[in-house]
Structure 1
Amino acid sequence: MNSSVSALPLSTLSPANEALTLRLPSSLQLKQQLPLSNALTRQVADHRQAVRAILDGEDSRLLVIVGPCSIHDPQCALEYAGNLARLAAEVSDEMLLVMRAYVEKPRTTVGWKGLAYDPHLDGSDDMAAGLSLSRHLMREMIDMGLPVATELLQPMAAGYFDDLLSWVAIGARTTESQIHREMASGLGMPVGFKNGTDGGVTVASDAMRSAAHPHRHFGVDSQGHPAIIQTPGNPDTHLVLRGGHGGPNYDRDSVARINRDLHKLAIPARIMVDCSHANSGKDPLRQPAVFNDVLEQRLQGDRSLIGMMIESHLFEGCQPLGSALQYGVSITDGCLGWTGTEQLLRQAAGQLRTQRPERQPA
């Protein structure tokens, strides 16, 4: 899909080592071009409330954020979303499945930064087209009945998608950022802060406490003007465990220790486990083992474990970005294939049905 909102060159600066500035549409302009209907706006509000109810213990279903490590191909993303929508309806009595629609990717050094940055996969960095395509795809997923989740990496991009999202992640590398904490304090949906890359949860705990408070901070309004942003504080944050340099942190002893730390800080004990990254040793095919271990802890009574995250695509593994790409295979981190994902979630729903007859109605 090509965007009809083009980037407008303001000036080419000289000498050659200075920046080239291109003007993007404001978030308001893009929302007006690709609006969300009243019915879908209500649906997003209902999905956000469903996530909150799980966080608050009012709904005992399992929250599962599942989907590609990153979206790079609109066709296979929508095919995956169609599969997930059908499965979500089938397991909705025990799980709330949320589509992972990641259009920004953090890079340790350099590399493809995601669909919002480089939608043509050729280094042209047509961000106007990327923002438009990303919003279009998320809107299509919502129209299938799915809640949508993403990681917000660039705060200036958040306004292009904030009305579409039911859940947001702040990544391990940005959880410590004051700018991201301020942004999270003004978001209208639940936010999961990942533990730092060292595997510790102190930084994420500080982030949750910061985001819960109101802030005034520098920002950009919906028309693209510099502004002072005043936020109300976000009470709907939680911790996402993704392991660290020392290895996994989803095991029983780690979860028990983290719960004690959260209790000391008067932070609600609501924990999601990212089954990928260091928790799986970066082996996507180990994600089911992580998922099942956490599920067993939950079935044995640990109510702090409110959900899991799975990196999953149509087909397993990953591939380098190149001219001939295999359909439905990640170009960033390796993913579990759809067949394995579907089997995993169906089996988990069956366990929850048979082993937890006391489950509260959704």
Structure 2
Amino acid sequence: MLPSENDVTQPSSIEACSLPLITDLTRDQLAQWCIEHDSSSYRADQIRRWIFTKRVNDFDAMHDISKKFRDLLKENFRLFSTTIVKHQTSKDRTEKLLLELHDGHHVECVLMREPKRNTVCISTQVGCAMGCVFCASGLLGLTRNLTMGEILEQILRLDRVIGEDERISNIVVMGIGEPLANLPALIPALDTLNHKGGMGIGARKITVSTVGLPAKIRELADVNKSYILAVSLHAPNDKLRDQIVPTNNKIGIQKIMDATDYYYVTTGRRVTFEYILLAGVNDSPAHAHELAGLLKHRNAHVNLIPANGVEETGYQSPTTADVDRFFMTLAKGGVNVTVRKRKGDDIDAACGQLRLNREKEKDLVQVQ
């Protein structure tokens, strides 16, 4: 519940920390709040422009809004709830932030620069329950879902560290957590990114990744937006996928394929299948042939991802020759395929790795 409009005293620092995030409100909810506080619904659009396009860091910078109303905003909301505890920049200009949330937990977000686009990768949960054996994100399990505002704040933080002449052009929801397990917060966050009164990023420039939750894939399809769906497949058969992606033993690849077919028919968007190549595990020619057989009759795209080595998982990246061989087998089998460029190799590049290192540091301090 929002603070009472009768509470006009300036909040103390402790009270301020408990105020709700203004970005946890949709445009319509913020407009209704403005109306209830003796202002026009248009005020919500002014506020959102300052937040999402003008890159302000506090309410006082919103100079076309009266001081009285700015004070009211400060009494009722926070603009940011996170603290940047680590900011890494790679030699290829990839930037990675480790953010501390209001409750002391941590999430990561990444900015990846290309000549014609700036892509941001964001998290949707603190930790992950999917248990993929190669991934640092789930090694500590799932703590909680992020709110809509916490999802958006990762983008706002990165939007404020890039140059004034730079703009975020693409979003990939591939950070820590299973995005489709947090659809109630994710969908309105994506709507805000997509909306012209938000960041105005086209739906076709937003990619949502999933380990493959059939019912949730169908739910996302029924939103009827042209988001790109990326399914983390990682194996061409159930026996191998059960080992790599433990949740598969309750689902099965065929149900995932049926759901992605539904997504394609409903949205008209080709589905991407992510396939992380783990040396000696799923990168053989036989695996490539089987994957080609599974996908060649579908309007699909395969994104091959040579694994980032994470000490705690024990898995290694395949050789360049093995990656090339896998790629050529799929291409010759009639599958549209690319190899993902590796970004940020000289920083904690693997998803969840920076957060994992931070948690290990905290444990070490507690032991000492």
Q: Which has the higher helix share?
A: 2
Instruction: State the structure with bigger RCO (CA 8 A, min sep 6), 1 or 2.
Output: 1
Compare CA radii of gyration and give the structure with the larger one: 2
What's the TM-score, normalizing by structure 1?
0.48
What's the TM-score, normalizing by structure 2?
0.48
